Amino acid sequence: MSSKRPLLVTDEPISDSPPQHSSSLDQSTQEICYGALEGGMAQALRRRTAIGNLQISSSSSLYSFSIRPSGEHFVLVTNDHPEFAVLDAATINKLAALKDMALIHFEALAECSHFSKRKKQESNAASKVFPVSINVFGPKPAAPEVARRLTRLSGYLQHPRALPPTVEYHNAQFFRFPESIASESSMNDFVGLGSALSLARKTKISTEIQNALDSISNVTVEGDYESPPGLLSKLTKYQEDGVRFIQQRETEAVSLCLQNELHLATFKSQNESNPRSYGGIIADAMGLGKTLTLLTAILHSLSTAEVDANFNHEASFTPKERKQRTKATLVVVPSAQLLDSWISEIQRHFLPDSLSYLVFHGPCRPRDVISLASADIVFTTYATIVADNIGEGILPSLKWFRIALDEAHWIRNSSSKQFRTISSLSSSRRWCLTGTPIQNRLEELASLAAFLQLSPFTSKAEFQKHILTPLCEGGPDFSKPFRTWIQAYCLRRTEKHLNLPPSSEHTLRLTPSAEEQSLFQDIRDQTRREIDDQINKANCSRKHNILFTALLRMRMCCNRGTLAVSTSGSLAPVGRIIECERCSSVSEDDAILFESVAFCPDCGRPLQLSSPISEGALSPREDLKMRPGLPFQGGSPRPHSTKLSAVVENIANSSVETKHIVFSYWTSTLDDMRRLFDAAKVDYVLIDGRTNYLERSRRLKAFKEDSRITVLVMSIETGAVGLNLTVANVVHVVEPQWNPSVEAQAVARALRMGQQTAVTIYRYIMKGTVEERIIELQERKKKLAIFAFGTEDGSNMEEKLEDLNFILNTDSMEE
């Protein structure tokens, strides 16, 4: 039998005997669940495996079947089929051992992914075999006898994957400490545990995570704040608390106290050989002034940094191991544009020469260690650090006083070169600045923890073992290790501290033209043909590839309408591998659209294309030209887009004093917007990944200072990170983003500290299209589970496939 432990979802089970769930029943009649038998298999007796609506609930990934005896067998029952499937012999033997016991009944749970909802899709005749988990129910006094009979047959009850919240779970085979038995503590906290997490279990964990994050907005910081000499601006109260939080977490006494608390919370034995490390995460919401908070903390610590740089801690090291100590804080940002933002903050808030800084970026970056070691701050980018590490790098040769990562979620993929290179830099003080410490996956926080190297969990493996694993395994107070770590090392304040003028959001739902409707239908028809032709013989990742390509085409069509019409391209992959180093090591999203897709749909980072037969990687713009016949190549001489026309009309009809930012993910959409603004005589500047650094700076300056230029057209990837664009008071989001956190980051460019006027946000949605389904999926997931769990394995690919099926509504694609 399988040793792995199960899942969870909630709702009433389907069973032959009506369950008795009332707590008012005495123990002789009260029905409980004894546990679940895992490792069983069932073989379908019907040709079709489209079984109708047997989901436990609309949010469930499980089907529920009644089980009844049939001669010498036990069969699964559906509403339509009294004998839908038969159980395997080993499982039948175990159930038969309980058959003569009064009021005992069974329920089988199976993953929805094993079945088709499409009535026309049939499996090979009566050959469908699928795994099942079998819940065993009956009177509470019978629990010891059920356990005894099953044990004789080597049948061991596991935690149920799913139970209604009103059903008590009591497993007589499960070992518990005497004190927990004496206290009659409920075992229902163990429902839904296992290697795979159900939606309901994820929801519970996500709620705990969110509660923990909400609990760190008022971390106690003792002592009075003193403004350091050289600071011109007055900090807000929450910024002062942020500076003191950094100061405290960089002191040994506080660090030791926090480590002791973590030892107690995780039952980890103390290990004094762990290196002393200091730091944490400033996870304030976007726009709260994290930059100024850190710069002030750097100014406060200049004298300490000077002493540290001159103190020889490494006298016993060999010359090869010894590093040049520096008083400098290394600040790492995602792009060259943000280097200017940090420097601008220094010039705006600090006296001249109070903070010396040096920019380590570009071909003219300094090559001598002395220059780097003498500055108070060294600014660089993530990409520059990776480039410097090729050969004999300068940055790795230094022992930095402090390393601070701006937009630290850029290292969330711990298998990337970026993460490995930055983590290998030497410093005993490490800080992460990010408004989104967990964007999508819980594992992203483990990557930040691995960079921080905070005792007692200095590696990703230790953090996962002692912090994340208890969170996912459940049990009483399962979130205590996570809460303790977060409260020790993380500070997060919300947007309510900004006290901004009121903002308003408007979603404009637009009706496609008849021509656009026809184009949508053509794409749906082709997608259906591709699915019918390939999906039965494709593996999970290939199915994802086919459907994701269809989604890309439909999303582009929502924006561009008939600006570029072609639906004759195949949805089959073109033999390229798309890599996003930040959020996933390899993505098989189809490359046929990457003339317009320059950035990762999940995280917004520029993608790299490489051939499976080549080790090289190059920009999609340099490598891939759209082939004849593939969708959306070039432009039509008679263009029309309902959506883009609405954006231009909205802007053209607004006040001339209004400054607008237009965000889109698609570079082709940005180009279309440029042509439409030209035709409408609207003055604008455009910035995307093709705009070089100097030109970006010039265009941003023009938008901020030239009253004639009222529109900034921007790729959402470029605008989502770090920029301060409070001069704008209207934001247009042309399409819903696959990752809503990218959209939130982009909007925050205007909704941030210093904004003096009310901001209006417009979102444009095409009625009756995949855009509405994307929003519906986002809202559904928001209610169910805030974060994703696990790694990029097959189970998550199944989850992605389910998302795509939902958005594309593939169940309705019938002949």
3-state secondary structure 397-443: HEEECEEEEECHHHHCCCCCHHHHHHHCCEECEEEEECCCCCCCECH
What pLDDT sits at residue 781?
Answer: 64
Mean per-residue pLDDT, 148-171: 89
In the CATH scheme, what is the code of domain 234-268+276-311+325-497?
3.40.50.10810
CA distance 286 to 412: 18
* Confidence grade of residue 22 (pLDDT, cut at 50, 70, 90): very low
What pLDDT sits at residue 313?
Answer: 55
Tokens read off for 507: 């979603």
CA distance 448 to 421: 14
What pLDDT sits at residue 542?
Answer: 64
Q: Is residue 105 helix, strand or coil?
A: strand
Is the pLDDT reported for residue 568 higher than 80? no
749 vs 759, higher pLDDT: 759
Lowest mean pLDDT among 96-110, 403-417, 798-812: 798-812
Least Cα distance to 268 among 426, 465, 447 occurs for 465
> Model pTM greater than 0.75?
no
Is the pLDDT reported for residue 468 higher than 80? yes
Is the pLDDT reported for residue 614 higher than 50? no
Lowest mean pLDDT among 212-226, 617-631, 724-738: 617-631
Most confident of 194-203, 391-400, 713-722: 391-400
In the CATH scheme, what is the code of domain 500-568+641-815?
3.40.50.300
The whole-chain average pLDDT of the chain stands at: 77
What pLDDT sits at residue 303?
Answer: 94
Is the pLDDT reported for residue 91 higher than 90? yes
Mean per-residue pLDDT, 741-753: 76
Other CB atoms within 10 A of residue 345 CB: 17
Lowest mean pLDDT among 197-206, 326-335, 519-528: 197-206
Mean per-residue pLDDT, 502-530: 86
Lowest mean pLDDT among 3-12, 34-43, 727-736: 3-12
CA distance 78 to 75: 10
Give the start-to-end residue ranges of the domains of the chain.
Answer: 31-196, 234-268+276-311+325-497, 500-568+641-815
What pLDDT sits at residue 189?
Answer: 72
Tokens read off for 358: 């040096």
Tokens read off for 802: 């389910």
The residue with tokens 């400054």 is 659
What pLDDT sits at residue 401?
Answer: 96
CA distance 454 to 273: 13
Mean per-residue pLDDT, 614-643: 42
Burial class of residue 184 (count of CB atoms within 10 Å of its CB; 0-12, 13-18, 19+): exposed
* Confidence grade of residue 15 (pLDDT, cut at 50, 70, 90): very low
Is the pLDDT reported for residue 108 higher than 50? yes
Lowest mean pLDDT among 212-221, 369-378, 689-698: 212-221
* Confidence grade of residue 266 (pLDDT, cut at 50, 70, 90): confident
